[in-house]
């Protein structure tokens, strides 16, 4: 009989938690027993796994006995409190929050980029920011081949990145606008329906948001590239699922679209959809619920020396979160 592992999902009822459960099942992760953990208000709620109902239990200090993998997606404060407890109980913790990402003792991992880093863990491994992970799926193979020095990027981020309430808000606002009713706002500071908001996360004294700086800070750590520079504008768009990023990258070596395509076509976890003559390019609508990210609109940049512009799109609940976490666990199986 092949070895199985007891797995806990912390934040099981959230958007990412639900995707983690689906991903464990779809990828046939060798789960012996699945434990679903959440706050007291979700206790007793049932979620399906392999055709059976699994009841949600309350997350406590004693939740991790006998568990080998704990996948966390319940926010930074929960990770900060319970991540070290789970690690001490002998779990390999894969944390989806921003809590441990920049901790020098915690590997920050995209398996296709720096999977080997995961083996140096001291109990906790961090999952990167979703926009960063999706961007690096296309950028890292190009960096390996041509040496990326800096990027300028704009993100087009789906509302599901904010959670289930944001999806409901967009649905409700579209309905209100169509019916000519006043628009109600709770999740975002402005109407998101038929609008774009050039703010994701809170502002820093520099005028950048926290989300915008993650690309540079996390990119440096994941790519082992301390000199990497990224100037990013993160934008929330009225799309339900899947983030897209327009990237202009500058390289040390000369780069052509043809040479870039040859590299990108071999990159793991990435599809190339690049046929402008037929209006074919990655669309968030079609990347939703797909494991692979997609890249297209590949062209020589006309403002930078050794520059390349491209468009990358991916499901931020999957490659940006749940799938990446399960792939990290798979490195140990």
Q: Where are the domains of the chain?
A: 5-127+321-330, 132-316
Q: What is the pLDDT along the chain (333 residues), one digit of tens a residue?
A: 579 999 999 999 999 999 999 999 999 999 999 999 999 999 999 999 999 999 999 999 999 999 999 999 999 999 999 999 999 999 999 999 999 999 999 999 999 999 999 999 999 999 999 999 999 999 999 999 999 999 999 999 999 999 889 999 999 999 999 999 999 999 999 999 999 999 999 999 999 999 999 999 999 999 999 999 999 999 999 999 999 999 999 999 999 999 999 999 999 999 999 999 999 999 999 999 999 999 999 999 999 999 999 999 999 999 999 999 999 999 999
pLDDT score recorded for residue 2: 78
Residue 256 token pair: 């052509």
Contacts of 202 (CB under 8 A, 6+ apart): 209, 210
pLDDT score recorded for residue 1: 56
Distances (CA, A) of 240 to 95, 154, 295: 24, 18, 20
CATH superfamily, domain at 5-127+321-330: NAD(P)-binding Rossmann-like Domain (3.40.50.720)
Per-position DSSP letters for 63-106, written without gaps between them: TTTT-SEEEE-S-HHHHHHHHHHHHHTT-EEEE-SSSSTT-TTS
CATH superfamily, domain at 132-316: Dihydrodipicolinate Reductase; domain 2 (3.30.360.10)
Of the candidates 304, 255, 257, the one whose C-alpha atom is nearest the C-alpha of residue 276 is 257
Residue with tokens 């006998």: 66
Confirm whether pTM is higher than 0.95: yes
- Contact 180/250 with Cβ under 8 angstroms? no
pLDDT score recorded for residue 164: 84
* 5-127+321-330 and 132-316 in the same fold: no
Per-position DSSP letters for 167-181, written without gaps between them: HHHHHHHHHHHHTTP
Catalytic residue set: 130, 243
pLDDT score recorded for residue 163: 87
């Amino acid at each position: 009989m092949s070895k199985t592992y007891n797995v806990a999902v912390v934040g099981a009822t959230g958007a990412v938690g639900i995707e983690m459960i689906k991903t464990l099942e779809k990828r046939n992760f060798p789960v012996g027993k699945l434990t679903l953990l959440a706050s007291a208000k979700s206790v007793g709620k049932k979620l399906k796994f392999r055709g059976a109902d699994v009841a949600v239990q309350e997350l406590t200090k004693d939740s991790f006995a006998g568990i080998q993998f704990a996948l966390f997606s319940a926010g930074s404060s929960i990770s900060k409190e319970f991540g070290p407890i789970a690690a001490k109980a002998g779990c390999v913790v894969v944390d989806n929050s921003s809590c441990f990402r920049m901790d020098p003792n915690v590997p920050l991992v995209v398996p296709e980029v720096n999977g080997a880093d995961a083996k140096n863990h001291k109990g906790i491994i961090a999952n990167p920011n979703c926009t960063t992970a999706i961007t690096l799926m296309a950028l890292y193979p190009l960096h390996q081949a041509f040496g990326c020095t800096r990027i300028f990027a704009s993100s087009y981020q789906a509302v599901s990145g904010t959670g289930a309430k944001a999806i409901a808000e967009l649905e409700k606002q579209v309905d209100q606008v169509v019916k000519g009713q006043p628009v109600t706002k709770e999740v975002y500071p402005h109407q998101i329906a038929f609008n774009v908001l050039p703010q994701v996360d809170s502002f820093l004294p520099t005028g950048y948001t926290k989300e915008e700086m993650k690309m540079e800070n996390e990119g440096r750590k994941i790519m082992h590239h301390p000199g990497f520079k990224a100037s990013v504008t993160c934008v929330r768009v009225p799309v339900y699922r899947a983030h897209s990023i327009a990237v202009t990258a500058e390289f040390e070596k000369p780069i052509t679209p043809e040479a870039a395509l040859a590299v990108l076509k071999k990159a793991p976890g990435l599809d190339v959809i690049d046929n402008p003559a037929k209006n074919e390019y990655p669309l968030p609508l079609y990347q939703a619920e797909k494991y692979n990210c997609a890249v297209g609109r590949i062209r020589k940049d006309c403002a930078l020396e050794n520059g390349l512009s491209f468009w990358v799109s991916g499901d931020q609940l999957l490659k940006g979160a749940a799938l990446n976490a399960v792939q990290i666990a798979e490195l140990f199986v």
